[in-house]
Amino acid sequence: MAAPPAESPLILISNDDGIDAPGIRALTAALDGLGELMVVAPAQEQSAVGHAITVRMPVRAHERTMEVPSGTVPAYAVTGTPADCIKLAITQLTPRRPALIVSGINRGPNTAVNVIYSGTVSAATEGAISGIDAMAVSLCKWKAEAAADYEAAGRYARRMAEEILAQGLPPGVLLNVNVPDQPYRDIRGIAITRQARSRWEESFEARTDPLQRPYYWMAGTFVNLDEGDNTDIEAVEGGYVSATPLQLDLTAHDHLQALRKWTW
Amino acid sequence: MAAPPAESPLILISNDDGIDAPGIRALTAALDGLGELMVVAPAQEQSAVGHAITVRMPVRAHERTMEVPSGTVPAYAVTGTPADCIKLAITQLTPRRPALIVSGINRGPNTAVNVIYSGTVSAATEGAISGIDAMAVSLCKWKAEAAADYEAAGRYARRMAEEILAQGLPPGVLLNVNVPDQPYRDIRGIAITRQARSRWEESFEARTDPLQRPYYWMAGTFVNLDEGDNTDIEAVEGGYVSATPLQLDLTAHDHLQALRKWTW
């Protein structure tokens, strides 16, 4: 690869769709030249693993490279989850502490309550836990559809990575970015949003196997329960890239006082 | 089992240590008589799965029973994660909508940043997503030690379940309970707390297998970064049961305005 300056920021790239997914290749190509890049991503698809970590088995890291316009960048395929990838990368694989972690580009939205299930977001969360600026990027296109076009998402990922490198995120805050499935020229800009309130409904379907034993497939319908302003869903539906700052503190601070009045 | 009144609240019990773990048996016994009980828990240990869900494979539910002092309660061993168990239970297995979900008793603390990795907490989170009051209960004893005594945690779980049934939690809020590893008589009471700021350090250890190939085991040291008051860690160390309300909205609301001023 074209050697970046010695003090070039190290950018660690990961995802949950696996190292061979088109989204992470598009992301790595889009960030080419912005700093020294390294890819550490799951060897296999890890969608919906949430913030799982591998504690009962060893993990392995297989060295390879990934092509970018200027040449190749070092890459590792890890036999683990996205959170494993980041922990392993920053403790064992990167030559120095990354300046930024970028996870994605996920195929499918990670808006609203989906952040809780998302391996893409968990890789960025692991960065925030370790005090490293981090961003998760998702393309709002559903999996069952035709081939995805990552061009717009890649361009916005680069632009937002540059801004994070320049400004620095607040400690313990990561940025969750969702890009509308539209050509770059049709996207209206970036909106700073909040996570929409939502849920999944009727999420299992009962079936019977050829031996007459019951089994269940997860199905379900996503329900947006939020009619307020400035949500990630509203932004994406309006043609904006949504950027939601997420935090690690899950405490419901607004309810502490009321709970203290219960008869414990 | 002793038939509860027809309008008895249905209490759904799950965990992440698996249906055969002593902690879920102790919890179910401790809640005996408080309502109609049903256990839906992973067939195998699922610690540290975070909020993973099983989307690429079918899941199965194997019917069995669990013994309690008054008789037996219906139980299902599910080939999936804690989040799968709750989704499957409330859509397919329970006779009606549960009034309360209780997850645990986990062996090991789920304080501070550990809530993000915890399958025990994720079962309760899934309840909150579905609009059902939910509580996760953990015993602050590390796994490598001798046999755990769940008596105090069971008694507090029952007391707090009663209070939640009586008062009702705010929508979208679950209660994350951590019980000190002490005899019941030595515990000083219940403290309403917040999640301590913390992280894990140096979380992988490099080794070489008999064929000279490298592999990595997750290791790591827990670091409490929080010197403030009212944290879950401080409460447990002081001999209190910590009860932290957790919310589903991860938005860093305090940082929205500042981020809007960046040059996007």
Query: Domain of A60: which CATH number?
Result: 3.40.1210.10
Reported confidence tier of residue B199, pLDDT bands at 50, 70, 90: confident
Q: Is B217 domain-assigned?
A: no
Chain A contacts of B129, Cβ < 8 Å?
A: 113, 116, 199-200
In this predicted structure, the answer to whether residue A198 has a pLDDT above a threshold of 90 is: no
Alpha-carbon distance A2 to nearest alpha carbon in chain B (angstroms): 28
Q: Which of A200-209, B29-38, B168-177 has the lowest mean pLDDT?
A: A200-209
pLDDT over threshold 70, residue A199:
yes
Q: Which residue has the tokens 């902690």?
A: B23
Percent of chain A at pLDDT above 90? Answer: 74
The domain in which residue B21 lies consists of 10-196+229-260
Mean pLDDT, residues B200-228 taken together? 84
CB A246 to CB B252 under 8 A?
Answer: yes
Neighbours of B5 (CB within 10 A): 8
Q: How far apart are the C-alpha atoms of A33 and A2, rounded to whole Å?
A: 8
Contact A47 B55 (CB under 8 A): yes
Considering only CB atoms, A249 lies closest to which of B195, B243, B259, namely B195
Return the structure tokens found at B86: 């709750």
The DSSP letter of residue B100 is E
pLDDT of residue B147: 82
Per-residue pLDDT, B28: 98
Structural domain contains residue A219: no
Q: What is the mean pLDDT of residues B48-60?
A: 79
Size of interface A-B (CB pairs under 8 A): 216
Instruction: Specify the pLDDT at position B220.
Output: 78
What average pLDDT score do residues B215-234 get? 88
Across the strands, what pairs with A100? A11, A133
- Which residues does B238 contact at the CB level (< 8 Å), separation at least 6? B188, B191
* Amino acid, single-letter form, for residue A253: H
**A141: in domain:** yes
B138-148: pLDDT as tens digits: 999 876 667 88
Q: In chain A, how many domains are there?
A: 1
Q: Spell out which residues of chain A touch residue B204, defining contact as CB-CB under 8 Å.
A: 59, 87-88, 91-92
More confident residue, A201 or A235: A235
Q: Which residues, including other chains, have CB under 8 Å from residue B113's CB and lie 6 or more apart? A: A129, A248, B195, B197, B198, B199, B200
- Residue A23 belongs to a domain: yes
> A245 vs B264: CB contact, 8 Å cut-off?
no
Using an 8 Å CB-CB cutoff, list chain A residues near B173.
252, 255
Supply the mean pLDDT for chain B: 91
Query: Strand B71-78 relative to strand B61-68: parallel, antiparallel, unpaired?
Result: antiparallel
pLDDT (0 to 100) of residue A174? 97
B257 to chain A, closest Cα gap in Å: 8
What are the chain B neighbours of A54 within 8 Å (beta carbons)? Answer: 48, 218
In a domain, A97, yes or no: yes
Residue at A218 is within a domain: no
In this prediction, residues B1-7 reach a mean pLDDT of 57
β strands within B108-228, DSSP E: 133-140, 173-180, 190-192, 198-201, 204-208, 214-218, 221-224
**Helical packing angle, B151-167 and B22-30, nearest 10°:** 50
Q: Do A255 and B170 touch (CB under 8 A)?
A: yes
In a domain, B167, yes or no: yes
The confidence score (pLDDT) of residue A177 equals: 98
Structure tokens at A98: 């990354």
Does a structural domain hold residue B203? Answer: no
